Structure 1
Amino acid sequence: MGVERSEHIRRWESGALAHAVSDPFGQGPLPWLRGSEHYFDDTGHVVPWYVDHVPAQRDTPRTTARTTAHVTGPRTADDVGQQIKGFASSGGVAPGEAIDFHITVDPPQQFTVDVYRIGHYGGDGAAKIATSPRLSGIVQPPPLTADRTVSCHHWWQSWRYQVPAHASIGAHVAVLTTADGYRSHIPFTVRDDHPADLLLLLPDITWQAYNLYPEDGRTGASLYHAWDEEGRLLGEEDAAITVSFDRPYAGAGLPLHVGHAYDFIRWAERYGYDLAYADARDLHAGRIDPTRYRGLVFPGHDEYWSAPMRRAVELARDGGTSLVFLSANSLYWQVELGPSPSGVPDRLLTCRKRRGPGRPALWREVARPEQQLLGIQYAGRVPEPHPLVVRNADHWLWEATGASDGEEIEGLVAGEADRYYPRTALPEHQDRILLAHSPYRDGEQNLRHQETSLYRAPSGALVFASGTFAWSPALDRPGHVDPRVQRATANLLDRICKRD
């Protein structure tokens, strides 16, 4: 039944079926991720800087140990079979606190949870820090749906992980594995308020906006897509207005674009940068004080922002805290966070994209364009990778990179791009500069351009915006590393951290 259903859903119709792969982000040697697969964006196009496609084995018998003996390695769970899927009770947790996991297993059987921390670790990319006992899996009730909002808040608790008081803060992944060899993932963050040079903010709000769980051709919905009665994918006009954090991520359980954050983390920890960690929801809820850090780093696609998030970041900048945006299309949609049906805060994400009465959802439509914080703003998609063309190569950001004016860094303008809009107000600044000006063709073959921006606020804070999705992958993704980007990023962070 599950096989027939998965064949009915055409893989390219959705970004989320492409999540159901063993290594969707081309992250290279991670202890639990093996194999190489394609990744598709939400338009169905292949994202070119990822690795080659190997079809997933969804039709392998999984009912007995004898049949699984012929399968090499774990197989990836999906939203059709629901072999094993789960979510965490919170996105972030502090050392000494507990985090609950709610997990469904079909057919019911034993499973284990291995907890990994993302980091450099001699090139491994992660280290196992905890393992659960063998747990008894059950088939949880079907998700509840109301007006396209899908929630699993009624699932029973499956395992509680007590985070040790001495635990290392950072980005973590709980890896779920059934006795018969199916695997899924749950990302979470261990945060702390200890002083550090840099605060890394993981974009969990944007991750949830793209989550189409369950991608079963019937029920799932994100802020981008939903399904009709015939299993066809619908667009934004018919998508959800509110999505819930009380549900797994689609497919393999890793969010869209999570690899961008992992690329930065591995690189930054390799070179010894002093990092603290938090989620976007921590920033929203005021659980962290961003003014305590020399710089805030937004390592990946960070498109969805609440008003408290923006206010906190602007106050930090105005107080002298630098801002580093290593992707594009940041701070685009304005969102609200609300409690779950049981009253747990910040478990529902609302973005009113549909046209009609009410407040507009784009920041630029409420007279607060993102350029007033970033220095540039979203320009559009980049269907095929183009070179990033260096500008102002004598600036200190490009020092020791070997780059010269007009030099092309191949493939670095990809995914989506930002640029400077002359008719849109700039933030107050002491000085500003554009460090790249890169022509590319959009989906209609119109000539457009990407730009990379840096300005110094009156407080002395630096605000950098790469203006492209491909900056973080160039730091540490196998096959996509560029030493010029690595050095330019180090120049920026060293200056923010006051390194000699």
Structure 2
Amino acid sequence: MATTAHHLNRRGAARRLLLALLSASLLGLPGMRAMPHVDPELLEGRVPTKAELSPSVEAAFLRESYRPGNVATLRIFNSARGITMRLFHAGPETVSTHGRNEMQGVPVTGSRSIGASRGHRLVQVPVGDWPSGLYFARLAAADGRVGFAPFVVRPRRLGEHRVAIVLPTLTWQAYNLRDDNGDGQGDSWYASWNIHTVRLGRPFLNRGVPYNFRNYDLPFLEWLARTGKDVDVLSDSDLEAARSGRALARAYELVVFPGHHEYVTTREYDVVTGYRNLGGHLMFLSANNFFWQVVRHGRTIERTKQWRDLGRPEAALIGVQYRGNDNGTHRGAWIVRRSKADSWVFANTKLGPGSELSNAGIEIDKTSPASPKGTQVLAEIPNLFGPGFTAQMTYYETPAGAKVFAAGAFTLAGSVREPTVATVLQNVWDRMTADGKRTLAARPAAAPVEAFFARRSYAPGAAARLVVLGRASDLTVQLYRAGHGGEGPMEGRQVGGTLHAAAPSRLTLPLGDWPSGLYYARLSASGRSGYAPFVLRPRRLGEHRVAIVLPTNTWQAYNFRDDNGDGSADTWYASPAKTSVLLARPFEGDGTPPHYHGYDRGFMRWLALHGKQADFLSDDDLDAVARGDRLARAYDLVVFSGHHEYVTTHEYDLVERYRDLGGNLAFLSADNFFYRVVRHGDRIFREGRWRDLGRPEASLVGIQYVDWNHDTYKNKPYTVIGARRAPWLFRGTGFADGDSFGGYGIEIDARTAASPRGTRVLCRIPDAFGPGKSAEMTYYETPRGAKVFAAGVMNFGGSALWPGVSEMIANIWNELSRP
């Protein structure tokens, strides 16, 4: 790291003056106007301490959380020799943590030697079948340097336990003053007013320990372990991924925010508000929560506005809102006030009105006119930062039955080692998790109904066999056509009737004379539901002049379902020991194919909205075509709409021959035709990369896989550079050379020496994933008249409904589907 305290202190005098003025304002000194919304730490130039800059093995996991059985990716950012790594579970340990730059835990793996790093090395780390919680890697180098890299192990599905603990992973990064670009100041808005974004996935200072983790977060994790509480631990990303407040309410009766949860996205705010509105209980054990709106841009967050300035004051949700901060200069005890709830909140503590509880301050919250009607003040720290700057601990209930508790100061969770505080927290916990009249939030979590079709495609009029796993009494089954709006995660329109079955394991479903497309069964049983997709192929090839091949092999390769119950997902992405993938099985979760929403949904909706008719094929159907000549007679255009990474030799041969005969191709994603797979029965085996077999995919697609973003690089817009080379593509879009559109990445492709002669680059994302790693959208034609378009980014088809992109996809369809 290039950061030094000297470099960061060059404007110290001006900063100290501003801080003094602000402190005077906060404390209400004569002649000064109060500025209750200003945070002193927002003043330019908070400087890392010498301890924060301690030399270490700098490392971070690429994602905030992983499921049990996942393979996590750890990035080591600096050079070190003789590195050993061991993983730990934070919280259950009995060893005390004495420093801000250390983490203690219970080891969950042995020590593993991973050798040397020259900087930016990636290490694959298998995640075991461990309880949900906060974990960390401890890395030790031969020269004595030590580093820590925390990550969350989330539950396999929401609602494995009835209480969720949300850790403030975005706020941790907002306070991370690591200097990534070497300009002499931390890369956070806490270091400079000129910084508006923060990059995620960075190593923390303090040898990798999140800011104030020892004081704000660790005591609560220890309390959970010490009191034997089984909980689901979530990151901000996991909370953001919840389908809705209703989904969260079905999963949990209580959601706890134990730490400093200052920065949240609109999605998080909406989900938690919806959860509360449906009767879900909330505990906020710190202060200054849900204060700033942040917007994710790939792997960065941008701070935009305070929620109160967006018309959504945090007090309306929490009961209190941020009032002030004096950086810990003044601290005081909560004074218990008389309230309707004091009899149970302070039960078994000997506390009553006027009694003192613990010691707190630093940042404080207070009720406001936006606080819900009936909000009770349980305790106060009066005038802590001056007249009117009072911290308030509150509680309220809603007509829907929600119970919301807020500590109002830093930090009740951090003080839980005090017996009286522990009793108060236990009282509130018990009140919010008690049996009795249950709201929607307290209903037992419903596991999905798991099912799959025995074949991946059927012809119209066929009898489809549906296999249902587990117990599912009083089952209801309905069939839908995906992409046509309406029911389920694949937005389908119902076709046919409804089937009722008592306790089936195998059902036979008659299929109608329906258009070729992607269909799915929706299964419902006792409040549970699940989905099982299948392809309805044409009765014969060439019913329409365009074929759309869905990536059914790749969907299963990315299916992280644990089929054999060994605690590890049954895919080679979970473990190198897994050499094959089972094709006949449900998809993990609710049954939706992996990445469908990002890569496939947009194009499926575009087809329906524009009335486009095509023959839909699975990988099995393409594999069943005898020769490329037959494909060429049937279709003017074959579209690979999604991520088509895994293909058999026959598929590769077939499509290549089709192209050589003048057949047109469109690849709307990236990383296509990358691996060869061999099918044996209901399994596919990954055999090797096509480029290593002497058949680089660029020779067919025009471009080939370059890299994935390692969860580090945010999506970036494409820039048009070839509008004159293919004017048909940009017709009606308004795009000209130099214009930018969209936001793309995830995995990217670019030209190579194997690209066909005359391959033209139409759009580019320069250095999308670092120097020399650009994404390229291309087009080429062959002497036999074939036209081949390739998007070069993973989610181009997924963005089919975006303005401009919708017109581009229409142009591709019209240009390439002409005989």
**1:237 aligned to 2:576?**
yes
Distance 1:269 1:52, change over 3 A: closer
Distance 1:18 1:456 in 2: 47
SS of residue paired to 2:732: coil
Aligned pair count reads 405
Distance 1:162 1:134 in 2: 14
Contact 1:77/1:251 (<8 A) preserved: no
Distance 1:252 1:68 in 2: 29
Distance 2:816 2:591 in 1: 35
Q: What do the CA deviations read for 1:152-207 (whole angstroms, capped 9, x no partner)?
A: xxxx52x111112x2222100111111x2111111101111242121011110001
Residue 195 of structure 1: aligned partner? 543
Amino acid corresponding to residue 374 of structure 1 in structure 2: V
Residue 373 of structure 1: aligned partner? 700
Contact 1:175/1:185 (<8 A) preserved: yes
| Counterpart pick for 2:499 among 133, 157, 161 | 133
Displacement of 1:486 in angstroms is 1.2
Distance 1:393 1:249 in 2: 41
Residue 774 of structure 2: aligned partner? 449
Distance 1:68 1:328, change over 3 A: farther
> What aligned pairs does 1:12-411 form with structure 2 within 5 A after superposition?
17=156, 56=248, 57-58=250-251, 70-71=439-440, 78=447, 83-106=448-471, 108-120=472-484, 125-137=491-503, 156-157=505-506, 159-164=507-512, 166-178=513-525, 180-192=526-538, 193=540, 194-214=542-562, 218-225=567-574, 236-238=575-577, 240-259=578-597, 260-286=599-625, 289-291=630-632, 292-339=634-681, 347-352=682-687, 361-382=688-709, 383-394=713-724, 395-396=726-727, 397-411=729-743
Displacement of 1:267 in angstroms is 0.5
Amino acid corresponding to residue 453 of structure 1 in structure 2: T
Amino acid corresponding to residue 258 of structure 1 in structure 2: Y
> What aligned pairs does 1:414-493 form with structure 2 within 5 A after superposition?
414-421=745-752, 424-427=753-756, 431-442=758-769, 446=771, 448-476=773-801, 481=802, 483-493=803-813
Distance 2:454 2:236 in 1: 33
SS of residue paired to 2:611: coil
**1:8 aligned to 2:356?**
no
Amino acid corresponding to residue 782 of structure 2 in structure 1: A
SS of residue paired to 1:351: strand
Displacement of 1:46 in angstroms is 6.2
Q: What's the TM-score, normalizing by structure 1?
A: 0.72
Distance 1:242 1:76, change over 3 A: farther
Contact 1:17/1:250 (<8 A) preserved: no
Amino acid corresponding to residue 290 of structure 1 in structure 2: L
Distance 1:268 1:68 in 2: 47
Displacement of 1:305 in angstroms is 0.8
Q: What do the CA deviations read for 1:126-176 (whole angstroms, capped 9, x no partner)?
A: 2111344321236xxxxxxxxxxxxxxxxx52x111112x22221001111
Distance 2:154 2:816 in 1: 36
Amino acid corresponding to residue 177 of structure 1 in structure 2: S
Identity %: 25
Distance 1:20 1:498 in 2: 51
Q: What do the CA deviations read for 1:52-105 (whole angstroms, capped 9, x no partner)?
A: 876644457xxxxxx999549x99865xxxx52111110000011111111124
Displacement of 1:274 in angstroms is 2.9
Gaps of 5+ in 1: 22-43, 61-66, 139-155, 226-235, 340-346, 353-360
SS of residue paired to 1:301: coil
Gaps of 5+ in 2: 1-127, 135-150, 161-234, 254-435
Give the RMSD, CA atoms, in angstroms. Answer: 3.6
SS of residue paired to 1:134: strand
Residue 418 of structure 2: aligned partner? none
Displacement of 1:302 in angstroms is 0.7
Find the structure with the greater CA-based Rg: 2
Amino acid corresponding to residue 492 of structure 1 in structure 2: I
Contact 1:19/1:251 (<8 A) preserved: no
Displacement of 1:118 in angstroms is 1.5
Amino acid corresponding to residue 475 of structure 1 in structure 2: A
